[in-house]
Amino acid sequence: MLWGGVCVAQGLEESNKAAARRFLEQAWMGGKPEAALELFAPKYKSFDPRGEMGVEADAIKQVDVARQWCVVNGDCSKSEIILQAAEGDLVTTYWVLRQKQKRLFSTALARVLGRDPLERRMVNIFRFKDGRVVETYNQRDDLGIYSDLGLVNFAILVLWALGGAAGMGLTWLMTRVSRRRA
């Protein structure tokens, strides 16, 4: 009896892994974001490090995100899935997002910085119910993306310049004050 239950569970895990792979391969890598509507429940819970945790979202949000990243702003067809693991109703997928820029400014910036295509490691954990995604847990290297776009280096340069100017101003003030006392 137990053996039959294990086989059924393994079959369900493999089916869920295939659905998670299909979502990434079609919606993100294949440039067909509408595929998310088939694979996500109409309403699902999102746990994302940049947003509110446990917020209910519409499946159309996944379509919009994939469209923005991999149709409008870039081509993600060179992305690849590195590994997947499943346990019960959860599927974890570790993958590499490779986005070739499409827009003029981001293309020029990526080439100047030597980061075309933009490459990021991603982890998605999907919870399935009745063959559809009902929860997502996402982790990605957002700071790395900003760095690739030159935004982090620019911010560090500005902070360094402001800090240097403040330090010079403070040194000048201390020198003036100490001369008056002498």
Q: What is the pLDDT of residues 5-57, one digit of tens each?
A: 445 567 899 999 999 999 999 999 999 999 999 999 999 999 987 777 888 99
> Can you tell me the distance from the alpha carbon of 160 to that of 155, in angstroms, rounded to the nearest whole number?
8
Do 138 and 48 touch, CB atoms closer than 8 A?
A: yes
- What was the pLDDT predicted at 12? 92
State how beta strands 132-140 and 80-87 pair: unpaired
pTM, 2 dp: 0.72
Per-residue three-class SS string for 102-147: CCHHHHHHHHHHCCCCEEEEEEEEEEEECCEEEEEEEEECHHHHHH
The amino acid at residue 30 is G
Tell me which of 94 and 115 has the higher pLDDT: 94
- What was the pLDDT predicted at 155? 57
- What was the pLDDT predicted at 166? 62
Q: What is the pLDDT of residues 107-135, one digit of tens each?
A: 676 676 666 777 888 999 999 999 999 99
> Can you tell me the distance from the alpha carbon of 72 to that of 66, in angstroms, rounded to the nearest whole number?
9
Per the prediction, the chain carries an average pLDDT of: 81
